[in-house]
Structure 1
Amino acid sequence: MKKAGKIVIGLVCVGAFGVLMFTRFTKKEEPIEAVPNPTVVVQTPETGNIELSTGLTGTVEPADQVYIIPKGSGEVLEVYVNQGDTVQKGQKLFRIDNKQLDAARITLNTTQVSLNDAQTSVNRMKALYESGDISAQAYEQAVSGLSMAKLQYDSAKLNYDTQSENTVVTAPIAGVLEQFGVQVHDMSAGGSVAGVVSGAGGKTLTFNVSERVMKGLNIGDPVTVEKNGTDYSGAISEIGSMVDASTGLFKVKATLGDADGLASGTMVKVYVTAEKADNVMVVPADCVNYSNGDAYVYTYDAATSTAKKTPVEDGLIDSDKIQIVSGLSYDDEVITSWSKELYDGAAVNIQGSDDGEETEADSEESSEGDTDSSETTAEETTEAAETAAK
């Protein structure tokens, strides 16, 4: 019995081994699934504009700003206004004790007396000359003396009027006293700044730029000013052509419209267009690649249905597009989508084309064929195992 049992076990083992080997050698190899060509999106270059803005810092100033500079010197006797007051042109601001005015008054009175004496002398000499009692030369000397006295009087009168004007300092223009700190008993020096009057007009903006930015600016270019979340618009009115020695930059001025909310002297954020390119060829920025600093794009070759690596020269770039200086024409189809299977000469399908649809259908049919083949192989293997067991 033991011997018969061993024989049965051996037969079972041999049968199992045979079934295993039969299944292994009769199983069909699964076909390798073909990798489909990448599907890409293409676009022709367009004509567009690119502007690059630069953020700077500027200072708001009055459009009309005039310094108050007294011509005379002396102690301040009276002050008629305060800082922040609105004044009119010619309005009195303060009066000084001008000692030169007293001297000018004495000189004027002296020349007035001399003029009167010269006039009296001429009148008397004229009567004598007409009666023949004096010579013509004597009469002419009297007339010359009168002319000299008249010139001296006119000079003294002009000096007195000037000193009178210097005694009372007036507003040079109509506006607001932005700076004014004159007090009674202060000493006012001629030629020194006593205050600043800002005109009632608009505001100006002053800011400094580098040479690179300066070259991209033009008179009339728009500027945007931001302060406390509020934007103000303006236009460039002046562009300096010389470098400021203190900053090493170029000074630029702009006029601001409707900027009453900005106080004079306020520091603001300024945005200007530093560089721009109008009516140039542009493509999406994401489709431009770089190799060792050289720019290139992939274009679609319709004749071979492949991708072609095309070197280009790029220009300005913003957040979504880039300028193409050379290397492309407006008829080129630029591949704007990315794929890891994309390389020079790679076969590609265009999204939405008939070739792309046929490729997808072929892939589905191949998948169905592979499924049927797998099912047939499994059935044949099962049948073979059952036969061997019997």
Structure 2
Amino acid sequence: MKKKVLLPGVIAVILIAVIFVRINGMKVPVKTDTLPVVETVNPEVDTIELYTSLIGTIVPETVVRISPEASGTVTQVAAKAGDMVQQGQLLCVIDTNKVQNAKNTMDNAKVTYKEAHDTLGRMSVLYQSGAVSEQDYQGYVNSAKKSEIAYKQAKEEYENQVSYSNIKSPISGTIESCSIEQFDKVSTSDQIFVISGEGNKIISTSLTEKLQRSVKPGDLVIVEEDRNNLQGTISEISGMADDKTGLFNIKIQLADANELSAGTSVKLSLCSERADQVITVPVDSVYYENSKPYVYTYDNGTVHKIFVEAGIYDSSRMEVKEGIQKNMDVITTWSPELYEGAKALIMNSGEEIKGE
């Protein structure tokens, strides 16, 4: 039988191991089981608000856009962009080729009315003396009434044509734009003047359909202007989407808006979702399994895994609709040793360890 011979290299390794054991006093590491230490909080009743950022524009509260009532040629422009105008002040004159015709018709109707009225006066005297019959006299009365009606209608048409020709400002304010010059041809589809009223300024912006359903008149809006935060209030919400943008226009009242220049852009933040006085937990304490949210809770040294129904959440807290109660201890620290039924120690505020 052959004897086993140790190679020189193997002998050297054995000698080194023997020397190491002697130096370290035969210390052998012993494996020990330790429980995870966790921190917990109780769910809080709180309000969560989610804000959406928008861009708004400072605009006058009253804006009038003027278009001609009749087509024609501009013969006079009496005001230009930037001018301050008073209500009733002449802005321009348009030759519509209808003023003179309307005046001729009115003058003829006036003559006819005067003649019929004079005739009725003479016939009235004869009627009183019995020289004119009842039937004939009634005919004169009817003619006078018809001529009077015709004259009033002709006069009204003439005044309308004059107003169509002489465009006047319907309000007092500032002309923001004037798009016509003398001898220009204009039609009823042209916008020739835009006038902003002298009243308060507001903020105008637009919302998507989802946001439009989430807000209401009276809601507060945070307005950021030149690093200052101001509070505004939604005063008007359009119920119909704009044909061009597909968005819903809203108006925001701001107490200090008059100090801002029209056309200035400001950043807006409005509350798009809100959950009032609901049970909340820290966002970091919520985990997901197959897209289903759950939390770990601590109960007398034991960890429980509880699936919850989550609501809205912000950067720090999440609304919990179902699954936990206010008196539960929700674990806020993560450990790979957390699972349903696991044992753990609890440490709150880093001072006291419980559950040993």
Q: What's the TM-score once normalised by structure 1's chain length?
A: 0.75
Distance 2:351 2:105 in 1: 109
CA displacement, residues 149-186 of structure 1 (integer Å, 9 cap, x when unaligned)? 22222222222222222232111122221121222222
Aligned counterpart, 2:250: 253
Instruction: Tell me which structure has the larger Cα radius of gyration.
Output: 1
8 A Cα contact 2:241 2:249, kept in partner:
no
How many angstroms apart in 2 are the aligned matches of 1:82 and 1:242?
Answer: 34
- Give a deviation string over 1:315-335, Cα, whole Å, max 9, x none: 212111111111111111111
Amino acid paired to 1:311: F
The structure-2 alpha-carbon separation of the partners of 1:77 and 1:246, relative to structure 1 and needing over 3 Å to count, comes to closer
Is 2:340 the partner of 1:341? no
Root-mean-square deviation over aligned CA pairs: 3.2
Matched, 1:313 2:312: no
Q: Secondary structure at the match of 2:275?
A: strand
Equivalent residue in structure 1 for 2:325, among 321, 325, 329:
329
**Could you tell me which of 330, 353, 356 is aligned with 2:353?**
356
For residues 75-224 of structure 1, the aligned pairs below 5 Å read: 75-190=73-188, 192-200=190-198, 201-211=200-210, 213-224=211-222
Q: Name the counterpart of 1:376.
A: none
Cα separation, partners in 2 of 1:270 and 1:119, compared to 1, 3 Å: same
Give the Å deviation of 1:266.
5.3
Q: 1:67 to 1:342 in 2, by over 3 A?
A: same
CA distance in structure 2 between the aligned counterparts of 1:156 and 1:139, rounded to whole angstroms? 26
Cα distance in 1 between the residues matched to 2:213 and 2:151: 60
Cα 1:148–1:333 change in 2 (3 A) is same
Tell me the CA shift for residue 297 of structure 1: 1.6
1:50, distance to aligned residue in structure 2 (A): 1.4
Instruction: Please state how far the C-alpha of 1:131 moved relative to its aligned partner.
Output: 3.5
8 Å CA contact 1:173–1:199 kept in 2: the answer is yes
Q: 1:232 to 1:197 in 2, by over 3 A?
A: farther
Q: Which moved more, 1:341-350 or 1:308-317?
A: 341-350
Alignment of 1:269-308 (within 5 A): 269-302=267-300, 305-308=301-304
Distance in 1 separating the partners of 2:311 and 2:293: 10
Q: Alpha-carbon deviations, 1:349-384, whole Å to 9, x = none? A: 22269973897xxxxxxxxxxxxxxxxxxxxxxxxx
Does the 8 A contact of 2:235 with 2:253 survive in 1? no
Q: Distance in 2 between matches of 1:261 and 1:123?
A: 66
Preserved contact between residue 79 and residue 93 of structure 1 (Cα < 8 Å): yes
Which sections of structure 1, spanning at least 5 residues, go unmatched?
1-16, 360-390
Superposition deviation, residue 196 in structure 1:
1.3
Letter in 2 for 1:251: F
Give the drift of 1:29. Answer: 4.6
Query: Identity of aligned pairs, percent?
Result: 34
TM-score (normalizing by structure 2): 0.81
Is the partner of 1:218 in helix, strand or coil? coil
Distance 1:119 1:243 in 2: 57
Cα distance in 2, alignment partners of residues 287 and 83 from structure 1 = 61
1:243-277 deviation per Cα after TM superposition (whole angstroms, max 9, x unaligned): 55655x54140313123465555555443222221
Higher helix share: 1
Distance of 1:273 and 1:316 partners within structure 2? 13
Structure 2 residue identity aligned to 1:127:
V
Give the 3-state SS of the residue equivalent to 1:206 in structure 2: strand
Partner of 1:146: helix, strand, or coil? helix
Q: Distance in 2 between the 1:246 and 1:182 partners? A: 25
Extract unaligned runs of 5+ from structure 2. 1-14
Q: Secondary structure at the match of 1:351?
A: strand
CA distance in 2, matches of 1:294, 1:82: 65
